[in-house]
Amino acid sequence: MSTPSEIFSPGLEGVIAGETAISTITGGLRYRGYPVPELAEKSTFDEVAFLLLHGELPTHGQLADFNKRLASAQKLPGVLSDLLKALPKNAVPMDVVRTGVSILAHYDPDLGDNRKAANLRKAERLLAQIPLVIAEAYRATKELPVLTPRPELGFAANMLYMLNGTPPDAFDAKAFDVSLILYAEHEFNASTFTARVVCSTESDLHSSITAAIGALKGPLHGGANEKVMDLLLASGGPDKAEAWIRNALVKKQKVMGFGHRVYKAGDVRARVLKQYAKQAAQRAGTSQWETAAEIIEKVMETEKNLFPNLDWPAGRLYHAMGLEVPLYTPFFVASRVTGWAAHVIEQLEHNRIIRPRSRYTGPDEKHVKPIAERG
């Protein structure tokens, strides 16, 4: 039984667990005060990464210097590159990224320095290095050579180039860039809270990011974007989608890509990215899946009052762009490392170790009998 002063909230739902100046979902998602739809329309991921890490949108000069620092960090230790080639070809990409970040810690000159300036340097290096881990591991599974980064393309376009071997066209570069902006930060979600819990012990930034990646891997968090096309393909297309989704609801199957712990009237990020997913499908000749998605959305809203979250259009966009499903959540990591690092830095500036209480549901007090008297 709880005492009168205890508050029990399963999953910490509705609990204010800390303060942040990085983002808010109140009145629409904003990063450091800027509405995310405006950032998606008027800026690049490179600018948003600078905003999250350094507190304000960059000037031309600041952005140029930022991109130079990222370009200089776009290299991996030889030991890590060798490991990425040696890993089993069926290794889970999220596990590979998690391992990669952990190994990078051993080679970071600022590893043991938890001051803000050092953590910013580490964050920028990880931002530059994570796409290389993703690309080198992916190309190793295809027995393709590693490509030298082309930072002049911009963060998003360079990442697609390192994967595919050709620079993306303007639409694909913009669509992918917008997806990274939308994935970059989202208040006290599970992986971000994980990062803050780890660094609240005064552990290091790489440990915090490694733990956050583990949290993001789960299908109830970042891994949901990998399940979207599985769901749509299972629906059978526009002619069968309504019957399929109604049957799924009768069977109480979980429909990935819908609902959100916080957003009850829809996710603004999903509305922004939906337009890009639709255009990408038209370009790829896969508009039937957009039609099926619309049908499923209408049934979910009418029957369950549930709306799409960001993973719903993101999975469709990446599929239409020809990107392989196991890469979807690693893309999330490449973006969200900016938000995670910003939260680690913020947590450490006013740190108090995060240590909640639990509600005990075990037996009443018992007393130990000598082993000969037991049984």
In the predicted structure, residue 14 carries a pLDDT above the cut 80: no
Task: Tell me the two tokens of residue 301.
Answer: 């809203």
In the predicted structure, residue 254 carries a pLDDT above the cut 90: no
Give 1's pLDDT tier (boundaries 50, 70, 90): very low
In the predicted structure, residue 24 carries a pLDDT above the cut 70: yes
Strands (E), the chain: 23-24, 30-31, 34-35
pLDDT value at residue 190: 94
In the predicted structure, residue 322 carries a pLDDT above the cut 50: yes
Indicate the domain borders of the chain: 21-220+325-349, 225-320
Q: In angstroms, rounded to a whole number, what is the distance separating the alpha carbons of residues 217 and 215?
A: 5
Q: In angstroms, rounded to a whole number, what is the distance separating the alpha carbons of residues 71 and 263?
A: 37
Which own/partner contact pairs does 68-73 have at CB distance under 8 Å and 24+ positions apart? Answer: 69/124, 69/128, 70/124, 70/127, 70/128, 70/151, 70/155, 71/128, 71/149, 71/151, 73/124, 73/125, 73/128, 73/129
Q: What is the pLDDT of residues 72-116, one digit of tens each?
A: 999 999 999 999 999 999 999 999 999 999 999 999 999 999 999
pLDDT value at residue 314: 95
The single residue listed with the structure tokens 């920028």 is: 124
In the predicted structure, residue 4 carries a pLDDT above the cut 70: no
pLDDT value at residue 124: 98
**Eight-class DSSP state of 308:** B
pLDDT value at residue 222: 86
pTM: 0.93
Percent of the chain surpassing pLDDT 70 = 97
Q: What is the pLDDT of residues 255-291, one digit of tens each?
A: 888 976 676 677 899 999 999 999 999 999 999 999 9
Q: Please list the active-site residues.
A: 221, 260, 311
In the predicted structure, residue 12 carries a pLDDT above the cut 60: yes
Task: Tell me the two tokens of residue 176.
Answer: 């992918």
Q: In angstroms, rounded to a whole number, what is the distance separating the alpha carbons of residues 251 and 372?
A: 52
Domain 21-220+325-349 -> CATH class: mainly alpha
SS3 31: strand
Burial of residue 34 (number of CB atoms within 10 Å: 0-12, 13-18, 19+): middle
Region 138-160: what's the mean pLDDT? 97
pLDDT value at residue 247: 95
pLDDT value at residue 136: 98
In the predicted structure, residue 3 carries a pLDDT above the cut 60: no
Percent of the chain surpassing pLDDT 90 = 86
Per CATH, which fold does 225-320 belong to? Cytochrome p450-Terp; domain 2 (1.10.230)
pLDDT value at residue 320: 97
Q: What is the pLDDT of residues 42-64, one digit of tens each?
A: 999 999 999 999 999 999 999 99
More confident residue, 112 or 5: 112
